[in-house]
Structure 1
Amino acid sequence: MKRIILAGGGHGHINVLKNLIQNPLLDYEILLITDFKKQYYSGMLAGFIEGIYTEQDISFDVEKLSKMANVRYIEEKIIAIDKANQKVITSKGKYPYDFLSINLGSLSNINFPIKSEDVCLVKPIKNVVDAKDRVSEMYRKNPRLKISFIGAGASGVELGLAFRAAFPEAEISIMTTKNILENFNKSAKNKLKKLLDTKSIKIITGQRVNLIKDKKIHTNDDIYDFDFAFITTGFCGPDINFDGFMTFNNNYLAVNNKLFADKNVLAMGDAASIKEYPTMPKAGVYAIREAPILYQNLLKLINGDNDFINYKPQKKYLQIINCGNKRAMSNYGSLSNYGKISWKIKDKIDRDYMKI
């Protein structure tokens, strides 16, 4: 019996499991290997911080879904994938494969030393889920808690607004080398700048962080105190040796526009970069579109059908940032909208996505 290995429990593989529950592959041994029991959905993380959603609302139970899909669940950390010998190597063993699908996610990209325990890297998302309890305890002791976010992209801004809603008396700042929300249109940026100001969230621009040590952020020209800090400065590929595979900078696995990294290996999501689209951002909206193509091409691969489906990223896509208090900012092309309607749209999209 041939073996299919699903390396990682990312959203693409959640989609594979959902499909296998409905349409089992009875003639194959299927393994899913991950070191995370739960797969968290980043789109609902801010709502979880604010208290709108529970941890159960924003996560998939990977082990439970695997059992429902008749997939063998292995909870081990993947440390390497050996192309020549067709093996997934974990901290505990080696697993040969005939077919392999990779959906491992990304890690926070750090360009400066961190010598402090009160710092949270936002990838993997489990870090932020756990940090909420830590910050809550600190806030109970000191409501004027200083919370800093380093990085002012969508993740940093959305989390800053979520923590403001959850901890109204805290002193919150967002620090960046350039400006906020570089990938958003001018209208959305201006509205969010005003909103951040209204909510007393301080934006600190032109600051390149060189060191975080002893609850102090050392930048190119100043030092800032903090009680708890979140790093949202960008991402890199997983800490895995892709032995024999082509990779890009920051250890992103190279795939073609059919999501193949090798003749019998597919990959998608934040761990991969598509050779035909080297500048494509690492954003969940792309991964959601890739997921059904990964599943269909995996089926074609194991069935010997070479008529694979091409993935082509959309030029424009809807971005919605949760702004707290059941209001959100939507950004599409040159259009933007802030308010309850945007939040309701986001809430509906997110809840529908989490349905099994």
Structure 2
Amino acid sequence: MGKHLVLAGGGHAHMTVLARLDQFVGRGHRVTLISPSPYQYYSGMGPGLLAGTYRPQEVRFHIRKMIEAPGGSFLEDRVSGIDAAGKRLHLASGGDLSYDAVSFNTGSGVPLGSLDGGSPNVLPVKPIENLLRVRETLLSWKEKRPPRLLVVGGGPAGVELAGNLWRLLRELDREGNISLVGGSRILKAFPDRVRTLARRSLENRGIVLHQGVRTKSLAGKVALLSDGASIPFDLALVAVGVSPAPLFRDSGLATGEDGGLTVNAFLQSPDYPEIFGGGDCIHFAPSPLDKVGVHAVRQNPVLLHNLLAALDGGPLRPYLPPSAYLLILNLGDGRGILSRRGWTVDGRLAFLAKDYIDRRFMKKFQISGELKEEA
């Protein structure tokens, strides 16, 4: 008799399972996908989506069609609680759903903390759909004065967003003021050469960098900084790091310090072997992982194998994180910065390499006619 697999979230680590759902259905198993949206946007192409380098159809997967076409079920909902002992999920809509095995790939969010998240002018960079909202706002800008744009966060996301906001304004032939509050310093976890190249790129385009300070408040369309300075803004994008939702901790499951679901080398809960997870929402107990997309992408085949094994029996396969990974920043001017193992390359070829890698990943899983859809 078949069993019931539930996929909570249609993120990047679940793509291979969705693309090969026939392997589950063909063995008599039921598969249900729970997601708040029928689309899943690829975060790696988010800054390019903001700038207009990519159309929405080029950076999203139609996960509802992916699950339903082979015979699975889609629930447009969100998991609000987990009864691990009873093997049941509580849904935001008020219902419950039982499972034999469940895998979480619910991603992460931007914790606004003391920053004002109630204003429509202050948007976290996740979900990626927020970048479309910023783009639409600037496309329909009716004020006579130039828009004042603020990016909060000096990591890779903040740097890419600042550069691509510049690209968007240039494409619109519109003046604008862009500021980036980078905390202690931009790209602090990267080699000096990467930081220098990124800083020069942004400053040469008139983007104002505030380093050595942090943002204390964004209330009233004014950013108050830790040094007492203030920056008025019309739109603020917050990219101050990501963390999982409190779902796992609130449900009494083992978690890491950031609240991510604790999993072993098999991407499996050590306390509940029928619970799995991948991507940004997990705490990888063997060794904490950076919140970068490469892990979610590489966890794809491991989750496929292990979820089948959890349902049918058989040995599990461990996830072996790469000792080093490639990171390429899209600077928004047709150039990129490539970094790996201390090796740094910048220029047009770096961006083209990123573009090729991203498009290849999308092509592999855009199996539901996404590119032919209307926006």
The TM-score, its normalising length taken from structure 1, stands at 0.95
Instruction: Describe how 1:98-247 pairs up with structure 2 within 5 A.
Output: 98-114=100-116, 115-138=118-141, 140-142=142-144, 144-168=146-170, 169-220=175-226, 221-242=228-249, 243-247=251-255
1:256 aligned partner: 264
Cα distance in 2 between the residues matched to 1:4 and 1:22: 12
**C-alpha separation between the residues in 1 aligned to 2:215 and 2:50?**
26
Task: Letter of the 1:266 partner, please give it.
Answer: F
Letter in 2 for 1:235: V
Does structure 1 conserve the Cα–Cα contact (< 8 Å) formed by 2:14 and 2:105? Answer: yes
Aligned length: 353
Inter-partner Cα distance in structure 1 for 2:323 and 2:176: 38
> Using the alignment, how far apart are the partners of 1:184 and 1:299 within structure 2?
38
How far, CA to CA, are the matches of 1:342 and 1:69 in structure 2? 38
Q: Check 1:241–1:187 CA distance in 2 against 1; reply closer, same or farther (3 A cut).
A: closer
* Secondary structure, counterpart of 1:167 in structure 2: helix
> Corresponding residue for 2:318?
310
Matched, 1:34 2:35: yes
For 2:88, the aligned partner's letter is: K
Q: Percentage identity across aligned positions? A: 29
For 1:309 and 1:71, locate their aligned partners in 2 and report how far apart those are by CA, in whole Å. 25
Q: Which moved more, 1:221-230 or 1:321-330?
A: 321-330
- The equivalences for 1:53-132 within 5 A come to 53-92=54-93, 93-114=95-116, 115-132=118-135
Distance 2:22 2:53 in 1: 29
Deviates more, 1:8-17 or 1:23-32: 23-32
1:99-135 deviations in whole A, cap 9, x for unaligned?
1111100011122130532011111212222222123
1:123 partner SS:
coil
Alpha-carbon RMSD across the aligned residues, in angstroms, is 1.6
Gaps of 5+ in 1: none
What amino acid maps onto 1:181 in structure 2? L
Any stretches of 5+ residues in structure 2 without a counterpart?
A: 366-375
Aligned mates of 2:321, 2:165 — CA distance in 1: 32
Instruction: Give CA deviations for 1:246-277 in whole Å, capped at 9, x if unaligned.
Output: 01233211111110012111101111110111
Distance in 2 (alpha carbons) for counterparts of 1:183 and 1:142 = 40
Shift of 1:176: 2.1
- What is the rounded CA distance, in whole Å, between the counterparts of 1:198 and 1:84 in structure 2? 57
Structure 2: how far apart are the matches of 1:105 and 1:310? 21
Change (3 A) 1:277 1:122: same
Which is strand-richer, 1 or 2? 1
Alpha-carbon spacing, 1:325–1:210, altered in 2? closer, same or farther (3 Å): closer
Measure the CA separation in 1 of the matches of 2:235 and 2:222. Answer: 10
Show CA shifts across 1:47-97 (max 9, x none).
212212110100001111111232101111211111011111102210000
Alignment deviations for residues 295-326 of structure 1 (CA, whole Å, 9 cap, x no partner): 11111221211x22111222211101111233
Paired position in structure 2 for 1:268: 278
Give distance in 2, aligned partners of 1:198 and 1:151: 19
CA separation in 1, counterparts of 2:17 and 2:74?
Answer: 14
1:22 Cα offset (Å): 7.0
- Which string of whole-angstrom CA distances, capped at 9 and with x for unpartnered residues, describes residues 5-46 of structure 1? 111111122221112257743411111111121100011112
Which residue of 1 is the match for residue 332 of structure 2? 324
Classify the secondary structure of the residue corresponding to 2:301. helix
The residue that corresponds to 1:14 in the other structure is 15
Q: How does the TM-score come out when normalised to structure 2? A: 0.90
Per-residue CA deviations over 1:180-222 (Å, capped at 9, x if unaligned) read 1122222221111111111111110122222111110112222
Q: Could you list the structure 1 runs, at least 4 aligned residues long, displaced by more than 4 angstroms after superposition.
A: 21-24
- Could you tell me which amino acid in structure 2 is paired with residue 82 of structure 1? D
